[in-house]
């Protein structure tokens, strides 16, 4: 029996076209079509300790490992997926890709010594506007398949990034330590944290969050982003 209103309801949550290539989805496809899934430009950076993402952070912060799952190419599938994730109300695409990444990271041993996963938080204002945190969607997917717990609400964003851009370079640098705060630092002592963000370019957001977290005694840090934009 086909129930039309149920179909309509489902269409609110699932798009009819692929979020990577905009072609119609068929059969059991959800969010991303099989051909986009097959063509995802995976970096496989997690298989090498020295990779372009770890290179971004070397000499800036002490960390254990760093990787990104996909290459971000202008006008490519990943740009479209990330755009839908961040601006078009599809947190599900982050969770889906996070699940895939988590399974691969677990299989490779990358997750072995990780204690918990922490997504980069959004400022409250931005969170309310968007309705969800895209990095948390990715982290939830990672957590599901890697079987590592996610800790959200402990690392918080204090400063709205928009106000940062108006400040001088020196003021920005001085401010870096005050962009993020930690509500209960004691609970993160001696933990190895996997810090998660959507895309890494200059690495400044991850560096700011990491700098704050690394003030906690015994804390060890690794970094993951869904995409790497060289």
- Residues whose CB is less than 8 angstroms from the CB of residue 125 and which lie 6 or more positions away in sequence, other chains included: 160
Q: Ramachandran region of residue 217, left (φ > 0), alpha (ψ -120 to 50) or beta?
A: beta
Strands 180-182 and 155-157: antiparallel
Residue 35 or 163: the one with the smaller Cβ distance to Zn ion is 35
Which of residues 85 and 193 has its CB atom nearest to Zn ion in the complex? 85
Q: Which residues, numbered 19-48, are part of the site for Zn ion (CB under 5 A)?
A: 20-21, 33, 36
CA pair distance 203, 55, nearest whole angstrom: 10
Looking only at Cα atoms, what is the longest distance across the chain? 65
Give min distance, CB of 138 to Zn ion, in A. 19
Least distance (Å) between residue 80 CB and Zn ion: 9
Q: Which of 29/115 has CB closer to Zn ion?
A: 29
Contact (CB, 8 A) for 148 and 114: yes
How near is the Cβ of 121 to Zn ion at its closest, in Å?
30
Q: Is 18 near Zn ion (CB under 5 A)?
A: yes
State the first-to-last Cα distance of the chain, in angstroms, to the nearest integer: 50
Of 77 and 150, which has the nearer Cβ to Zn ion?
77
Closer residue to Zn ion, CB minimum distance, 15 or 20: 20
Buried-state track 153-168, b at ≥16 Cβ within 10 A, e below 16: ebbebeeeeeeeeeee
Give the binding range for Zn ion (CB under 5 A) out of 14-22, 40-48, 63-71, 115-123: 14-22
Pair of tokens at residue 215: 């003030």
Size of the site for Zn ion (CB under 5 A): 5
Using the rule CB under 5 A, give the single segment among 12-20, 57-65, 154-162, 196-204 that binds Zn ion: 12-20
Among 15-23, 52-60, 97-105, 203-211, the segment contacting Zn ion (CB under 5 A): 15-23
> Which residues would be at the binding site for Zn ion (CB under 5 A)?
18, 20-21, 33, 36
């Amino acid at each position: 029996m086909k129930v039309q209103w149920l179909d309509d309801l489902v269409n609110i949550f699932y798009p009819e076209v692929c979020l990577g290539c905009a072609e119609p989805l068929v059969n059991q496809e959800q969010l991303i079509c099989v051909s986009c899934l097959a063509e995802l430009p995976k970096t496989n950076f997690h298989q090498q300790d020295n990779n372009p993402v770890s290179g971004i952070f070397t000499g800036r912060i002490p960390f254990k490992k760093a990787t990104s799952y996909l290459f971000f190419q202008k006008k490519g599938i990943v740009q479209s997926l990330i755009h839908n994730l961040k601006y078009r109300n599809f947190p599900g695409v982050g969770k889906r890709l996070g699940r895939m990444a988590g399974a691969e990271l677990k299989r490779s041993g990358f997750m072995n010594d990780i204690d918990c996963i922490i997504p980069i938080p959004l400022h409250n204002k931005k969170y309310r506007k968007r309705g969800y945190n895209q990095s948390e969607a990715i982290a939830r997917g990672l957590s599901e398949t890697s079987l590592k717990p996610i800790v959200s609400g402990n690392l918080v964003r204090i400063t709205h990034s928009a106000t940062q851009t108006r400040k001088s370079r020196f003021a920005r640098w001085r401010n870096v330590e005050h962009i993020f705060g930690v509500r209960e630092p004691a609970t993160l002592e001696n933990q190895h944290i996997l810090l998660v963000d959507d895309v890494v370019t200059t690495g400044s957001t991850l560096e700011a969050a990491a700098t704050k977290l690394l003030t906690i005694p015994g804390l060890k840090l690794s970094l993951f982003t869904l995409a790497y934009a060289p």
